[in-house]
């Protein structure tokens, strides 16, 4: 396995735009060891949040110094992130409790009887969860989020500015990429209720296959290099009609909301509490967004992942471990008393 080589671009204000290059510490042995050794397992539970059934994955720390709240992307199926969450806990040396909250009605069972939930409803759901379960904790909260979860986390930061001390967005989806053909096609699919229902029905028809056959199909097609965790999550959650309908409905509302520019004023005001990890060829979080943030919120910690783990980093063990190590390094560098 190759040694991770990521350059952390931390920008600072000056009359001319300048970059301070900080190489994230490389630790091949710790990464290899974490991939091979047993990790503290996450526990899964279902919880009612504002009367909406919610899938939670968590690890509770004994020596608690802060609490990490993870917001997934879309699909927001938290079992996809199991390897990432367990790796992050180990890289943080057990000093943080970690909680991951799934998107509403992207579950293995249709708890909400076919109801569809918008991006704003998903945001409100996360805010209500914090007020219900986390706001009372006595340690600071660090937000870690993936894709559209990064957009959601900025809204959470706005509402809980005294409690949230740091916000890390992974492969962030913060605004539409008008140059992306893929986004255009997904937007057209999501905008059509007929096409969305048809696509969801076709995917849900795979439930007719027994689990072993579904796993083989996913492994041999979509997930040839995927981890067992990702293959299992695909088979248990994404083969559900209600899940795919909610994925596409949420996407439709994302495209409406993110047609606007990011709230640059808010990001400038909070730039020292923000960090983003970008990929080389990621149409959801393109490098042009990296450049915009570097100009308009230059105090933000910006990094580019160059190992080819892609936007769907959580679908491979190597991607999960590498990104977890990067997140842990950001946190430890920011909060040196945790080392």
- DSSP secondary structure string for all residues of 178-214: TT-HHHHHHHHHHH-HHHHHHHHHHHHGGGGS-HHHH
Measure the CA–CA gap between 239 and 141, rounded to whole angstroms: 34
Question: What is the tens place of the pLDDT at every residue in 199-231?
Answer: 999 999 999 999 999 999 998 887 678 999 999
Give Cα separations from 205 to 5, 77, 155, 210, 231 (angstroms): 42, 19, 36, 11, 17
Query: Given pLDDT bands bounded at 50, 70 and 90, which one contains residue 35?
Result: low
Q: Which of 169, 168, 167, 164 is nearest to 141 (CA)?
A: 164
Two tokens, residue 205: 């028809």
Question: What is the tens place of the pLDDT at every residue in 96-155?
Answer: 999 999 999 999 999 999 999 999 999 999 999 999 998 888 899 999 999 999 999 999
Q: Which of 209, 208, 228, 207 is nearest to 219 (CA)?
A: 228
Neighbours of 209 (CB within 10 A): 14
Query: Given pLDDT bands bounded at 50, 70 and 90, which one contains residue 338?
Result: low
Tokens 């057209």 sit on residue: 188
Two tokens, residue 140: 């600071």
CATH architecture of the domain formed by 7-178+261-338: 3-Layer(aba) Sandwich (3.40)
Q: 69 Cβ partners below 8 Å, 6+ apart? A: 99, 100, 101, 130, 134, 141, 142, 143, 144, 156
Domain ranges of the chain: 7-178+261-338
Which residues make beta-bridge pairs with 141? 67, 164
Radius of gyration of the chain (CA): 19
Backbone angles phi, psi at 332, to 5 degrees: -65, -40
């Amino acid at each position: 396995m190759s040694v991770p080589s990521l350059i952390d671009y931390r920008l600072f204000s000056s009359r001319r735009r300048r970059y301070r290059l900080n190489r994230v510490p490389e630790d091949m042995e710790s990464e290899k060891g974490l991939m091979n050794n047993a990790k503290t397992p996450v526990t899964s539970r279902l919880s009612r949040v504002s009367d909406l059934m919610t899938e939670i994955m968590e690890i509770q720390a004994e020596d608690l110094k802060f609490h990490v709240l993870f917001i997934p992307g879309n699909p927001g199926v938290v079992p996809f992130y199991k390897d990432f969450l367990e790796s992050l806990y180990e890289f943080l040396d057990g000093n943080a409790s970690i909680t991951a909250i799934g998107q509403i009605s992207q579950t293995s069972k249709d708890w909400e009887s076919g109801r569809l939930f918008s991006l704003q409803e998903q945001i409100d759901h996360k805010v209500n969860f914090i007020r219900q379960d986390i706001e009372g904790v006595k340690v600071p909260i660090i937000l870690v989020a993936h894709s559209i979860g990064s957009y959601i986390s900025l809204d959470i930061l706005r509402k809980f500015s005294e409690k949230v001390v740091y916000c890390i967005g992974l492969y962030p989806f913060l605004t539409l990429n008008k140059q992306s053909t893929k986004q255009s096609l997904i937007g057209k699919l999501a905008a059509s209720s007929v096409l969305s229902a048809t696509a969801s029905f076709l995917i849900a028809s795979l439930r007719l296959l027994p689990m072993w056959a579904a796993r083989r199909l996913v492994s041999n097609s979509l997930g040839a290099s995927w981890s067992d965790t990702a293959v299992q999550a695909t088979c248990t959650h994404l083969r559900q009609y209600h899940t795919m309908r909610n994925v596409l409905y949420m996407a439709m509302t994302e495209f409406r909301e993110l047609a606007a520019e990011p709230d640059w004023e808010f990001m400038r005001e909070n730039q020292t509490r923000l960090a983003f990890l970008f990929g080389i060829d990621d149409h959801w979080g393109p490098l042009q967004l990296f450049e915009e943030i570097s100009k308009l919120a230059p105090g933000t910690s910006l990094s580019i992942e160059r190992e080819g783990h892609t936007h769907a980093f959580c679908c491979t063990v190597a991607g999960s471990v590498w990104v977890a190590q990067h997140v842990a390094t950001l946190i430890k560098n920011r909060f040196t008393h945790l080392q």
